[in-house]
Structure formats: C-alpha cells, structure tokens
A and B are shown apart, each in its own frame.
Chain A
Amino acid sequence: MNIEEENIAIHLKDVGIRYGTTVALEHVNLQIRKGRITAFVGPSGSGKTSLLKSLNRLSDLEKDCVVEGEVIVEGFGDLNAEKIDLVSLRRSVGMIFQKPNPFPISIRKNFFLPLRERGIKDKKESDRRMEKALKRVGLWDEVHDRLNERADRLSGGQQQRLCIARALVLEPDILLFDEPCSALDPMATEVVEGLISELRGELTVIIVTHNLAQAKRIADEVAVFWCAGSCKNIVEFGCVSQVFDAPQSDFASQYLSGQRG
C-alpha cells in the first residue's frame, strides 16, 4: 500500500523487537495513515502489544527489550536513531491500557497531575480542559458533581472513559489503545468503541484487539500479526474490507475465518 508522505503518521521500516534473545517480532514494514483507525489483530504472543509500546518508547520500561529498525513517528523522526525527548513524545503519542488504570486519587487530580507536568498550573485552565475532555468522552454529566471523589471508585467503563479523557487532555496526535475493552462488559465496550470511532479524522488511532468483530466495526485498516515457528511478523495489512473479505495470505485467511489462532 503506497501512501503519500504527508499522510503518514507512523512509518516502520524493517522493525524487529526482541526480549534478550527471544524474538517478539521481526521484519515489520508498515505505514500508518494519519487520522485513521488501524487495528492490530493476531493471536496472543504475536507481538502486537510489543509493537504498540515501541511507538512511544514505553518499551524502554520492559526488561531486556530491544527495538531494531526504524520507527519513524511524524514530528519526532526515527525513535531509535535520534536522541528523543521522551516526555514530549509520550504527550504526543498517548496510550490507553488494557485494564482501566486511573490513579487512586480524585478525578480532578487525575487530570491535574499530567496537566501540571505539561506546564498548565492555573487551576481554572486545568478545570476548563478537564471539563472539555470529560464532555468529549461523555463522562461529564455522570461525574461533574463528584470530581473530588476517588477515580478508582467509578465503574470499569467509566474508569476507562476517564483514562481516555485523561490522555485526550494532553492533546495528543496519536493514541494507542492496548485491548481497551477486554476488561469491560458489552455495554461499556459499546460506549468505548463509539468513542474511539469518534476520534477518526482528528487523531491517528492504533488499537490492539483480540476481538475480530471489534476490529471490523471500528477500524479503517487492519494489520494481521502471525507467529509461525520462529518467524513472527505482520502477514497482512490493508483496509478492513479487503483484509476480512479477501485476505491474501493463508495465515490471515485461516485466522480471520476462525480456523486457526
């Protein structure tokens, strides 16, 4: 798939990831479009999350994790080659985790901490930004009268929406979702999926998911990860309809049809 340079948010060139001597992923070449939703699907252990974490260098926190090749993120260049300002990279490339993880402090403070770090110390300004982010995820009406209560006492779905709002408040360009609905019930999942869909056009979204139906519902493009023996890489990449309806590789067609994986 050839995309014009200015439409690419992330460009991966021959990327490999390993933990010590164990290979998690190799020879990944991928161009992720700006403003689109890209889903990473594939069996467990095929390196989806590892690749996701390498996109904002959270991989640095993993023990013995080495990322090779070129991970080019718009505005930052190759994350592996140059001296990158990790703080601004991570503000620009946010991440939502599998389990909702608000800090066990008040809802308001969950926003103030990262905003303060970003240099926004004025309380009114922080409140304004928090309100905007909470409204965007449809949580404002539910929590506006208990902003001083602990965020970890909200329901699972509310917590995950809060985490999305907290990431959005930093105004990122790219948002990474690592199985954001796997700990949520179907109703909460629907709400979060709707939210992610609404981000289309505004942000570049990458979502790792085990739920193929979810990928089909919300993604524009899909990358199918596969591990065959020692070879772990992306076997198929393209727009949703093409990958699901007419997969080119045997692995992808068997995985997507439920025969393997």
Chain B
Amino acid sequence: MKVLLSKIAVLGLGGLPILVLAWILIDISYSGLSEISWSFLTEVPTNAGRSGGISSVIVSTLWVVSIATMISTFIGLATAIILSELSAKWEKFCLIVRWSLDILAGVPSIVFGLFGNAFFSQVCGFGFSILSGALTLTVMMLPFFIRVAEEGLRQVPNVYRKTGYALGMRPLSVTFKIVVPQASKAIVIGLVLSLARAMSETAALLFTSGYVERWPESVFDSGRVLSIHIYDLAMNVPGGIERANASALVLIGLLIAINLIIYSIADFWQRKRVV
C-alpha cells in the first residue's frame, strides 16, 4: 500500500509539469496549428496581424534575443567568475553584489521596461529600438544567469584549483582552462533558462523595442518581438486569437530549437575539451 502511494505521489508530482506543458501545447495547437503555413513564416504582417505572416516579427525577436544573449554571456560570466573566484579576497564587495543581484532577480519585468525606456531609450538616446530592447533584456537576464553560473563555478572542487596552481599554472589559466570548463554545464543551463525568459518577455520590451511590425532595418530601428505580437493579437485585435496561438507555437518551436542548438554546441565543446 505504502509503495503504491509513494508511486502515485512520484508519478503525480513528477507528471504535473508534463501535464501542464501538454495542456498548453494542445490548447494553442487547437486553434493555432491550422494558421501555420510557409507564407505565415515568410511574409510580413498585414491588417494588424490578421493576415500576412510573422517573418519580420521572428527576425526582430532573433535580433533582440541574440544581442541580449551575447552581452549577457560575456558580462554574466565575467561577473560570476569574479563572485566565485575572488570572493575570498573581496568578501564584503561580493556579498553586496550578490545581495543586489538577488533583489534585481525579483524585480517585476515591467519595472525593467520602465527603466529601459528611461535609460536606454531616452538618456542614451537609442529610442524605441532593437538595441534598447536587447539592453533592457540583458539587464533582466543577468541577475539570474550570474547566480546560476556562480553556483556552478563554486561547485567545482577546490582541489582542481590547488592542483592547477601547484602545477605552476597562472591564475587566469586555472580559471579559464580548468574551473570554467568544469562548470560549463551549469553555465549553459543558466544561459538557456535566462534566454527562455528573455524570449517570452513582453512587459520589458513594450516600452523599449517598440511594436512596429515591419522588417527592422538596423538595430537602431524599432521592431516587434513575438511575445508582443502575441499580446497585441490576443488583447487588441478582434479576431486575432488564432494568429496569436499560431505565433505562440512558433515562439515555443524557436525556443526548443535554440535550446537544442545551445545544448549540442555545449556538448560538442565538452567532448572536444576532454580529449
């Protein structure tokens, strides 16, 4: 009886995320799948998104997310390394940084949107643009990514660092050739999770990257991302719900594709590093 109960508990709790995912997929596929076609993926939206496609929206999304990911990876990794490798020397400083990051991680995305609008769009003069949106997303992604990456770096046994030093390796080599590769799994997971959050972000981009549906000409041009397109179709466009669902399916598909690409690159690198 006890075994049966524990099995039910394990299956029930473990299966819950699968059920939720399945439900969401079925729900949006139900009305969205029929809308997806080659022209939907290759044409620009017309009639407020009711007709045409979402090619410009996909491009804007990829622009915003790839810029945000690139900047976050460099700044985030560097900060995580400082926090994990120098915390013995700069104890108080690192404590304050960590504390600030934890607060930032909990700030609602709309606040980041307002900040991004005030700072990147207005003070820096980038206006409503892909760059403003990407930078705002960077600020939003960083706290989570840094903390996950830092935790991964801290998990690397200290003995590897000591061994590296004992073999006459320079501090930077110990960090980049031994510690960081060891923590690569956690770093990649942190990156993928924060990227997923960035891809589905609406509020922070509403005030920064704008919602012009045409094809963006440069990073200084305004561009509508998928999440905003979905939001707009579902909330402001009568008869747009099918198209919103279809766009949501594309967003999920993109997310899965990007995750697979990142994981396979990481996997390839990991195997190459070992030999």
Count of A-B residue pairs with CB < 8 Å? 68
Comparing B14-22, B165-173, B195-203, B225-233, the segment that makes contact with chain A is B165-173
Known A-B contacts A94-B166, A113-B169, A113-B177; A99 and B159 likewise in contact (beta carbons under 8 Å): yes
Does B3 make an interface contact (CB < 8 A)? no
Indicate if the CB atoms of A58 and B274 lie closer than 8 Å.
no
In the assembled complex, how far is the CB of residue A150 from the closest CB belonging to chain B, in whole angstroms? 6
Residues of B within 8 A of A88 (CB): 168
Does A87 make an interface contact (CB < 8 A)? yes
Residues of B within 8 A of A166 (CB): 167
Residues of B within 8 A of A58 (CB): 162, 165-166
What's the dominant secondary structure at chain B's contact region? Answer: helix
Known A-B contacts A61-B161, A109-B275; A117 and B168 likewise in contact (beta carbons under 8 Å): yes
Additional pairs, 14, CB under 8 Å, beyond known A106-B274, A114-B168, A117-B169: A61-B161, A61-B162, A87-B168, A87-B169, A90-B165, A91-B168, A97-B162, A97-B163, A101-B159, A103-B178, A109-B274, A113-B167, A150-B274, A170-B168
> Which of the residues B165, B167, B181, B274 comes within 8 Å of A170, measured between beta carbons?
B167
CA distance A97 to B157 in the complex (A): 14
Mask of B129-173 contacts with A, CB within 8 angstroms, 1/0: 000000000000000000000000000000111111111111001
CA distance A38 to B185 in the complex (A): 43
Q: Can you list 12 A-B pairs with a CB-CB distance of less than 8 A?
A: A56-B166, A58-B162, A61-B165, A63-B88, A89-B168, A94-B167, A103-B178, A105-B274, A109-B275, A113-B173, A117-B167, A167-B166
Query: Which residue of chain A has the shortest Cβ distance to B88 in the bound complex?
Result: A63
Residues of A bordering B, CB below 8 Å: 56, 58, 61, 63, 86-91, 94-95, 97, 99, 101, 103-106, 108-109, 113-114, 117-118, 148, 150, 163, 166-167, 170
Does B72 make an interface contact (CB < 8 A)? no
Does B182 make an interface contact (CB < 8 A)? yes
CA distance A58 to B167 in the complex (A): 11
> Which of the residues B88, B159, B168 comes within 8 Å of A90, measured between beta carbons?
B168
Complex interface residues of chain B between 243 and 275 (CB less than 8 A to chain A): 273-275
Indicate if the CB atoms of A104 and B275 lie closer than 8 Å.
no
Residues of B within 8 A of A109 (CB): 274-275
CA distance A3 to B168 in the complex (A): 30
Residues of B within 8 A of A94 (CB): 166-167
Indicate if the CB atoms of B274 and A114 lie closer than 8 Å.
no
Chain B contact-residue range equals 20 to 34
In the assembled complex, how far is the CB of residue B19 from the closest CB belonging to chain A, in whole angstroms? 38
Complex interface residues of chain B between 173 and 192 (CB less than 8 A to chain A): 173, 177-178, 181-182
CA distance A101 to B164 in the complex (A): 10
CA distance A150 to B181 in the complex (A): 14
Query: Which residue of chain A has the shortest Cβ distance to B167 in the bound complex?
Result: A114
Residues of A within 8 A of B161 (CB): 61
In the assembled complex, how far is the CB of residue B85 from the closest CB belonging to chain A, in whole angstroms? 11
Indicate if the CB atoms of B166 and A95 lie closer than 8 Å.
yes
> Which of the residues A99, A106, A113, A170 comes within 8 Å of B275, measured between beta carbons?
A106
CA distance A108 to B274 in the complex (A): 9
In the assembled complex, how far is the CB of residue A90 from the closest CB belonging to chain B, in whole angstroms? 4
Residues of A within 8 A of B170 (CB): 87, 117
> Which of the residues B88, B165, B177, B182 comes within 8 Å of A104, measured between beta carbons?
B182
Residues of B within 8 A of A114 (CB): 167-169
Residues of B within 8 A of A148 (CB): 275
Query: Which residue of chain B has the shortest Cβ distance to A96 in the bound complex?
Result: B166
Residues of A within 8 A of B163 (CB): 97, 101, 103, 163
